[in-house]
């Protein structure tokens, strides 16, 4: 596949608006269609980005059949990710699925199978793996700047979601862990070249938003690797002082700190030395431009994306184990079979 790729957005909410802002800086791609739960919302976003096709979900097949569409970005509510991704793959389109991949491992397997059968590309949209701060951190870790990694902690926190559906167990499938913990879990896996996680333990709570949801708004998850290394992902909708996206890595030879939203530099301190500031780009550079550029280049050139559907499935399995651990009050070993559970949070709520 060569030339300009036509891209359609399924979902007209916040993340699709982020994509629309990024698209003018992408080469070799144009937005050609938008779908949403309401035709009016799809039309508004389509008009804003110059897309020619706007449909509601009831008429999504019209968009998927369009010859102008090469790539479908599944940015819909969590409950609909699998349905929309499978439909796009069966229509012969490359697919980019926003995090979290879906709600069940059976859905994840169906998505992967649909893409394999169709021979289409399938990318898992985890923007932290493309954010310049975190990519620079990964390079430093790989170069041995902190020595052997002994532990790492990644935090994603803010005051709560931007859209009402996030508060619904039926539509979202989980709270802060599913929404933000997926960022930290994949970021930690990716930083260390995606090692196998042996055990998962988690603590969940509803600290601030119990008047509007039964879902967790605060979560701490510990990933234990086969060699005993522990990685911690903290995620919260209960923060009161803005957002946070930070990383701290403790190594045998030093410490590395990343503050994606608040600093332009990384901080590195080698053993018995002063802190060193390492330029990493402007604070808040989210990685969406780099992520979409990479995915579209891979689709165009027939390459495998750095973040694949299989990675989304691996993260989902860890998330399911985390909910189960919080529900049982004990660590859960991987691989993990959650049984016939329709929503991850049910493993905690019971």
pLDDT of residue 242: 82
The CATH number of the domain holding residue 163 is 3.30.360.10
pTM above 0.85, yes or no: yes
- Please tell me whether residues 40 and 119 are part of one structural domain: yes
What is the Cα gyration radius of the chain? 20
For residue 169 the two structure tokens come to: 């167990």
pLDDT of residue 126: 98
- Please tell me whether residues 29 and 137 are part of one structural domain: no
> Which residues of the chain fall short of a pLDDT of 50?
none
- Please tell me whether residues 183 and 141 are part of one structural domain: yes
- Please tell me whether residues 149 and 268 are part of one structural domain: yes
- Please tell me whether residues 151 and 274 are part of one structural domain: yes
- Please tell me whether residues 119 and 146 are part of one structural domain: no
- Please tell me whether residues 96 and 210 are part of one structural domain: no
- When divided into structural domains, the chain yields a total of 2
pLDDT of residue 1: 53
Sequence-separated (6 or more) residues with CB below 8 Å from residue 269: 254, 255, 275, 276
- Please tell me whether residues 112 and 135 are part of one structural domain: no
Cα separation, 74 vs 76, whole angstroms:
6
pLDDT of residue 2: 59
- Please tell me whether residues 102 and 223 are part of one structural domain: no
Domain that holds residue 172: 128-286+315-349
Q: Where are the beta strands (DSSP E) in the chain?
A: 5-10, 29-36, 53-56, 71-74, 94-98, 122-125, 149-157, 197-205, 218-225, 230-236, 244-251, 254-259, 265-270, 276-279, 332-333
- Please tell me whether residues 109 and 173 are part of one structural domain: no
- Please tell me whether residues 96 and 151 are part of one structural domain: no
pLDDT of residue 34: 98
Cα separation, 59 vs 288, whole angstroms:
28
The CATH number of the domain holding residue 295 is 3.40.50.720
215, 106 contact by CB (below 8 A)? no
- Please tell me whether residues 297 and 250 are part of one structural domain: no
pLDDT of residue 238: 96
């Amino acid at each position: 596949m060569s030339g300009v790729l036509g891209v359609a957005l399924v979902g007209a909410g916040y993340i699709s608006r982020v994509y629309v802002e990024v698209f003018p800086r992408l080469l070799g791609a144009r937005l050609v269609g938008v779908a949403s739960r309401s035709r009016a919302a799809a039309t508004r976003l389509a008009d804003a980005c110059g897309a020619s096709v706007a449909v509601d979900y009831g008429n999504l097949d019209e968009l998927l059949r369009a010859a102008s569409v090469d790539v479908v970005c599944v940015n819909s509510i969590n409950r609909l990710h699998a349905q929309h991704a499978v439909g796009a793959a069966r229509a012969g389109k490359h697919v980019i699925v926003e995090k979290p991949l879906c709600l069940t491992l059976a859905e994840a397997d169906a998505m992967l199978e649909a893409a394999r059968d169709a021979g289409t590309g399938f990318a898992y949209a985890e923007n932290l793996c493309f954010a310049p701060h975190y990519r620079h951190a990964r390079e430093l870790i790989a170069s041995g700047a902190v020595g052997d990694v002994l532990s790492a902690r990644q935090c994603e926190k803010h005051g709560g979601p931007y859209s009402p559906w996030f508060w619904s167990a039926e539509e979202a499938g989980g709270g802060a862990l599913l929404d933000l913990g997926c960022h930290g879990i994949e970021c930690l896996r990716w930083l260390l070249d995606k090692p196998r996680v042996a055990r998962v333990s988690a603590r969940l709570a509803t600290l601030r938003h119990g008047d509007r949801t039964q879902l967790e708004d605060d979560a701490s998850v510990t990933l234990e690797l086969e060699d005993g290394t522990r990685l911690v992902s903290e995620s919260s909708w209960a923060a009161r002082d803005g957002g946070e996206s930070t990383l701290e890595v403790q190594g045998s030879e030093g410490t590395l700190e990343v503050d994606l939203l608040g600093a332009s530099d990384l901080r590195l301190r080698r053993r018995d030395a002063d802190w060193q500031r390492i330029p990493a780009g402007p604070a808040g550079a989210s990685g969406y431009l780099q992520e979409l550029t990479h995915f579209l280049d891979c689709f165009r050139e027939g390459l495998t994306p750095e973040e694949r559907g299989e990675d989304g499935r691996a993260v989902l399995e860890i998330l399911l184990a985390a909910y189960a651990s919080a529900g049982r009050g004990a660590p859960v070993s991987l691989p993990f079979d959650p049984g016939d559970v329709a929503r991850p949070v049910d493993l905690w709520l019971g």
